[in-house]
Amino acid sequence: MSADPLRVACIGMGWWSDVLADAIQRSGKLEIRGCYTRSEEKRKNFAAKYRCRPAASYEALLADAEIEAIINTTPNDVHLTTTCAAAAAGKHVFLDKPIANSISDGRAITEACRKAGVVLALGYQRRRESHFRWIRQQIDDGLFGKLVNAEANISRDRLGKIDLTSWRYQAAGMPGGVMLQIGIHYIDVLEYLIGPIRAVRGQSAQLVLPGDNPDVASLILQHENGALSTLNASYASASEYYLMNVYGKDATAYYDLHNGLRLLKRGETTPVVVPCAENDTLVEELEEFAAAVRGQGRHEVGGEYATRSLAVVRAGILSAREGRSVEIAQLLNGDAKM
């Protein structure tokens, strides 16, 4: 196994590409060797900032034998073409969530990487936060008993802060709006903690932000183990906020942005504070990707799981439109265009 840093190239120069590039520099187990985006100015600025080579074209970048993997932060609707091209060139791919805008694209991306024998890893860093790792360990140890319910909220203030020319805030580029863009993080956490989601009932609204996309959305989720959970996502809130409460027959965990993690066991009346050290989730997921490329284990979130996570959002969109609960299997086994 090579001990040298994984040689990567970044494509899609936006604010998140810099966030991941900063994490790569904090790691030391990956090294940025190249970059490409259609804007010559953006790729030159990125190359200067991260001391890598700007490529004149994506094809030229993929032809560079020195590059082992691609860090892909392109818009959702080109994930299929950019990832399939990388796989065909024998490059491993770390792809920012969601895997795509459609289930059919998610499946095609997964299959292309499988056939090419390259690692496909999806960026779902929220599940790695130390408080969620602690809760999961206690669930595995039986502390919670039967899981019955969970409630989650992920909110940010985007009033006056959005660029309506950006694909991230347009229905065509980010169908489902806030739930696909940030809510999907807590869909992942709910599945990680409570278990796979079987059915979804959803509702969304556009209340504060301009444009053509929902800025508030809610889901009621039925998990395969019978537990129910709720998820609210908002771009119309006055402030940033995160909440994840997990209820079991024998214990309850309360987490929120301002008060941290607390635990309350059956028969007790006062929650106990659980200290959790802050961890670098982005570095962790990138280093896990690098290790998987070197044949040292697997990345936690691959294409099949990410496609199922996408299906939960798509089910919420369909439910809001049709006013009924939607089975995840209906989408995964039925309409491939969803």
Q: Are 92 and 118 in contact (CB under 8 A)?
A: yes
Note the pLDDT of residue 1: 45
**Which range, of 156-165, 257-266, 273-282, 302-311, averages the lowest pLDDT?**
156-165
pLDDT at residue 64 tops 50: yes
Note the pLDDT of residue 167: 85
Q: What average pLDDT does the chain have?
A: 96
Q: Would you state the structure tokens that stand for residue 167, as one six-digit string?
A: 């694909």
Note the pLDDT of residue 336: 37
Residue 96, CB-side half-sphere exposure with 13 Å CA sphere: 25
Note the pLDDT of residue 256: 98
C-alpha 188/C-alpha 298 separation (Å) is 18
pLDDT at residue 84 tops 60: yes
pTM: 0.95
Note the pLDDT of residue 2: 62
Q: Would you state the structure tokens that stand for residue 68, as one six-digit string?
A: 């082992």
Note the pLDDT of residue 338: 52
Residues in the chain: 338
Long-range pairs for 25-30 at CB < 8 Å and ≥24 separation? 25/50, 26/280, 26/283, 27/283, 27/286, 27/287, 27/290, 29/5, 29/286, 29/287, 29/290, 29/291, 30/5, 30/6, 30/286, 30/287, 30/290
Per residue in 216-265, pLDDT (tens digit) is 999 999 999 999 999 999 999 999 999 999 999 999 999 999 999 999 99
- Report the percent of the chain where pLDDT is more than 90: 92
- Report the percent of the chain where pLDDT is more than 70: 98
Indicate the SS3 state at residue 8: strand
pLDDT at residue 48 tops 60: yes
C-alpha 82/C-alpha 72 separation (Å) is 8
Note the pLDDT of residue 234: 97
pLDDT at residue 335 tops 60: no
User: Residue 160: pLDDT band by 50, 70, 90 thresholds?
Assistant: confident
pLDDT at residue 135 tops 70: yes
Note the pLDDT of residue 156: 95
Q: Would you state the structure tokens that stand for residue 164, as one six-digit string?
A: 């309506």
Note the pLDDT of residue 106: 98
